[in-house]
Structure 1
Amino acid sequence: VTVVGWWSFHWLCDDAYLAFRYVRMSVEGHGYVWNPSPFRPVEGYTSFLWVVILDVVWRLFGVDPPTSAPALSLVAHLGALAVVFRLAHRVPLASAGRRLPWLAFVVLAVVTNRTWLTWTSSGLETALWLLVLLAWLDAAAARAHARLVALAAVLPLVRPDGLLFLAATPALVAVDLRRERPWRAADLTLLLPYLLPVAHLLWRRATYDDWLPNTYYAKVVETWLKAGGLHIALFSFEHALFLVGPLVLAALWRRRDLPALPTMALGVMALQLLFLLRAGGDHFEYRIFLPWVPILWLAVPWACERLGWSLRRGLAVGVTIWLLGLPLPWTHWAITSGSGIRYWEETHEAIAPHWPAPLRAPARLRDWVARWNHYHLVGTPHHLHRAFLDVQIGRFPEVAPVAPVDDLPIWAHPNPGYVAYHHPELYVIDMLGLNDHVIARWPAPEIRKRKLAHERFPPAGYVDCFRPNVVLVPDDVIAFPRAEPFGPDDVRSCEDHWWALTD
């Protein structure tokens, strides 16, 4: 089912091509940079490990990132599904005879979840993050301390959010060990894998002159609790997963004894999610909730068993929640997956008109929240990202490299991913700041209508300093000669001036 879903949902987004450009720059000998010298290096990708994997695959097998990324995402997703099997086997049950029915239920609920299938592709590192994070949780459930620490060392290489897990894991292991025996000096050897993220952090500082990726500064503007709250509300309502909460609370009320290490691990995951929601959630459709899809479905048999319910009663409750979570997301998929997908508009696809009149109340509620989210670019559905990329591909299919001019070809654009990847000969100014040090750190203007992850803009005079001379026209990219050449010394002068203002 996961493979069929990957084939049906198969999509790439323009943002994925940002990371792809870094891979291309590395393959062409420039290293992991957005623009080669004379521009200063900037870390505009969020996953070092994902970029390295794509780089290695391209060098060894000659498969470029747009081709390899979806296939690698599927492999990671199938690996994550194997971890879900392992976690399902760890749920304590009243008898061994209940194992197979509950296992079948959990797997069915997970692989038919639209969010699970949506992120089987995309070109982003999402599936890799899912795999490593679930493996980390499985290590906590197994109380495998060495494996837990090793995976915690990998998480920051997949996403910057992993720094939280990197910091928390030693404390989790220390508390768990203390419950069994006194600490020993030899226990410090468990931290040897931490040399890897420390080395990466020092490399980041030496290469990019920063401790965090540039994307952090570009995306995190200020607290936006309303956006984060509506983001999680829409996800839990659409998939009916809010019904799992009362079930878990009832189970905890009946029995409060919990295994320490996995409980603390889930607490760290919840803390990471709360941090993201505090910042307004995520620009992409339910991406940040993906690891919670299997966790919440695993919570159903766990809660039913703690409540002492019969297998029939537990499965009846679980299947009811599962069935209630199918209509809303799959109706939306049905009306947006056809050939008539609209390009990015200030409207969204309403579900209510497609439902029978007596059943439209929940669909209207969903549409109301989705309209607000869409307006503010919170949880933007994947089909709109796919449509945006399709427009880019349609405008610039197999466009030849820009003809050389006497000075540097510089192009400034707010959505440069696809074109920037296919034109490594261009020096590109990312006007939303993901790949630009100055724009990412320049104070966001007072915006009447907030747009998540799209709130940084270049200060007056910044882009003009570089005198962009590249324009895009249908089916072509043209570089015009300047009246006065713009060379490496001019680039350094602009960057020295503007970087000093931001630093």
Structure 2
Amino acid sequence: MERQDWNILIACALAIAIASFYGVCTQDDAFISFRYAENLVTGKGLVFNEGERVEGISNPLWTLMFAGVIAFGMDPVLWSIVFGLCFFSLAVWGTSRLSSSVGAGLLPVWLVALDPSFLLESMEGLESSMYVALIVWGFVFLLQDIERTEYLPWRSLIVFGAAILTRPDAPLFFVAAQAGILLYRPSIQSIRFVCRSSVILGVFLSLVTAVRYGYYGEFLPNTFYAKVGGVAIERGLNYLWAHISTHPLVWIGGVYLCLQSLHIKRLRIVLPFVLGHALYVLLIGGDFKPTSRFLLVLTPILALGASLMILRWSNQSRWAYGLVVFAILPRAGLYERSLDWAQTRRINFLGRKAAGEWIAQNTPPDWVMAMHSVGAVPYYAQRRCIDMWGLNDKVIARTPVPDFGSGLAGHERSNPEYVFSLQPDLYIPEDDWLGLQRIEQKVELGFPSDFEENYRPVSIPLGASWMNIWYRK
């Protein structure tokens, strides 16, 4: 094995060892994909509730992978961790390949592999590590394909296509990559190369959209309508700063990468993506999770700039590598916070799983439940569920929200009047419904005036905990 291979192997092994301390900390949203996958396998269709064609997922390829897992009778929670760490390792390997292509050395591999945000996200059951791996390998293949402009870049096109099926913002990645090609080599050959690639991906995207419209009756996933309602710049600035403050070295490296693109032509291919994606995250306001998952795709690329900067300064001063130590100190606190977040997710998962299993065993199978975080509880309860944040409900997803963008990302839409007009048999509040104490729930603001006439608070013992919910009278 070459030195580069050993570098990848050791970095991934150390990273996975660190990840083991997080334990099973599956994010609640992951169970939405698991539910879609299970319904597909059992013949109910790629839906959240049987008979309701709503696309409440934004990661169809990831979800279909779990349809295979469930079809073989395997545990999606366990396999989400396996898949997450496998794609994490692929992303690290791809970072090494990218680094070699621009002469950035070994440091980028370690900046990516030991990022606690990326590590934790890879353990939480979502598609984030898969998407990062696809982005990185898309650029790896593109940097090779651009040297052969007379051929169709099938490898990079396949990766771009997979990315489109993994996250809805992937077409922006493709557009940015094509702009990077023209910056790298502004020529007739490059224009033809970009046009050929764009036609092929355009046809593929059109087919995907046609299938979506034919099945769900919408051109975009329902999650788009639920989560997007305008720009959220203030929230986006806070989101960006949260990542910059804990990853200063890679962001300084990003600035250096932009400047060095004037001299290193290959860096121009990634430049539009770096700038475009940062602007995109700023405008949409980021995400509610502390793992900065929307910015993880930038880490491997920004790490290239950081490494190039350190390598150059190391030739001028022996203190250059001391800068690395100083700049990564904020990550020490991030490791501690990531462990706390993982523990919270783990407790959350275990409690919600127990609650869902209790509902499955102690309520009639035709009962309908309503709640906000529609992940683990509905998955294990096996009951029809009204999604009160609207990811899986077309009416709520299109409910107007005053001052959209000022609240928690992805958790701003609601329509209690509509929800309770459907007369769910069981309502689970978002806060304080599962804990060590028995409490009597209070009616929430904005609920129908006749809510207490139709629902009664119930406290149910659940092991050492209590489940404080509402039953329809």
Report the TM-score when normalising by structure 1.
0.73
| CA distance in structure 2 between the aligned counterparts of 1:302 and 1:186, rounded to whole angstroms | 28
Q: Aligned equivalents of 1:250 and 1:178: distance in 2?
A: 19
How far has the Cα of 1:212 moved from its partner? 1.1
What amino acid is the match of 1:418?
Answer: A
284, 292, 299: which one aligns with 1:286: 292
Counterpart residue number, 1:44: 56
1:231 corresponds to: 239
Structure 1 gaps, min length 5: 94-101, 342-380, 483-503
Residue 253 (structure 2) aligns with: 244
**2:134 — aligned with what?**
132
1:88–1:457 Cα change, 3 Å = same
2:426–2:472 contact (8 Å) kept in structure 1? no
Deviation (angstroms), 1:218: 1.0
Equivalent residue letter for 1:412: A
**Could you say which residue in structure 2 is the equivalent of 1:110?**
112
Aligned match of 2:226? 218
- Output the CA distance in 2 between the equivalents of 1:228 and 1:183: 34
Give, in angstroms, the shift of residue 52 of structure 1: 0.8
Do structure 1's residue 470 and structure 2's residue 426 form an aligned pair?
Answer: yes
Letter in 2 for 1:238: T
- 1:490 aligns with none
Task: Give the 3 Å change call, closer, same or farther, for CA 172–433 of structure 1 in structure 2.
Answer: same
Tell me if 1:80 matches 2:91. Answer: yes
CA distance in 2, matches of 1:459, 1:170: 45
Determine the C-alpha separation between the residues in 1 that align with 2:335 and 2:309: 31
2:408 is the alignment partner of 1:438: no
Q: Output the CA distance in 1 between the equivalents of 2:39 and 2:470.
A: 20
State the alpha-carbon separation in 2 of the partners of residues 457 and 187 from structure 1: 43
Q: Which amino acid aligns with 2:295?
A: F
1:259 matched residue in structure 2: 265
Q: Please state how far the C-alpha of 1:401 moved relative to its aligned partner.
A: 4.1
Contact 1:218 / 1:441 at 8 angstroms: preserved in 2?
Answer: yes
User: In 2, distance between residues paired with 1:427 and 1:230?
Assistant: 37
> Which whole-Å CA distance do the structure 1 matches of 2:353 and 2:172 have between them?
38
- Please name the residue that 1:393 is paired with: 353
Mapped to 1, the partners of 2:468 and 2:381 lie a distance apart of: 9
Matched residue SS, 2:122 = coil
Gaps of 5+ in 2: 1-13, 147-152, 429-459
Would you say 1:63 and 2:60 are equivalent positions? Answer: no
Instruction: Evaluate the alpha carbon distance shift between residue 316 and residue 21 of structure 1 in structure 2; reply closer, same or farther with a 3 A threshold.
Output: farther
Which residue in 2 is equivalent to 1:362? none
- C-alpha deviations, 1:109-153, integer Å up to 9, x for none? 322222232222110000110110111121233244332333222
Structure 2 Cα separation of the partners of residues 186 and 130 of structure 1: 23
User: 5 Å matches for 1:164-179?
Assistant: 164-168=172-176, 179=187
Aligned to 1:296: 302
**Matched position secondary structure for 1:158:** coil
One-letter code of the match for 1:45?
A: I
Structure 1 counterpart SS, 2:369: strand
Task: Give the Cα separation in 2 of the matches to 1:276 and 1:200.
Answer: 24
1:268 corresponds, among 268, 273, 277, to: 273
Q: Quick check: 1:432–1:440 contact (8 Å CA) kept in 2?
A: yes
Cα distance change of structure 1 residues 187 and 435 upon mapping to structure 2, 3 Å threshold: closer
Equivalent residue in structure 2 for 1:4, among 17, 21, 45: 17
User: Using the alignment, how far apart are the partners of 2:201 and 2:114 within structure 1?
Assistant: 36
Quote how far apart the aligned CAs of 1:235 are: 1.1
The answer for the alignment partner of 2:41 in structure 1 is 27
Length, aligned pairs only: 416
**Matched letter for residue 432 of structure 1:** W
SS in 1 for 2:93: helix
Query: Within 2, Cα distance between the matches of 1:297 and 1:409?
Result: 51
Letter in 1 for 2:138: W
Q: Deviation at 1:156? A: 1.2
CA–CA distance in structure 2, aligned partners of residues 414 and 180 of structure 1? 53
Provide the rounded CA distance (Å) in 1 between the counterparts of 2:103 and 2:334.
36
Q: Distance in 2 between matches of 1:197 and 1:448?
A: 29
Partner of 2:6: none
1:219 positional shift: 1.2
Residues 244 and 41 from structure 1, CA distance in 2 versus in 1: closer, same or farther, beyond 3 angstroms? Answer: same
| Cα pair distance change 1:250/1:267, threshold 3 Å | closer
Cα deviation per residue 1:23-53 (whole Å; 9 max; x = unaligned)? 111111111101102xx31111110100011
Match of 1:361 in 2: none
Deviations 1:177-204 (Å, cap 9, x if unpaired)?
Answer: 7626487699748844654433221111
1:199 aligns with 2:207: yes
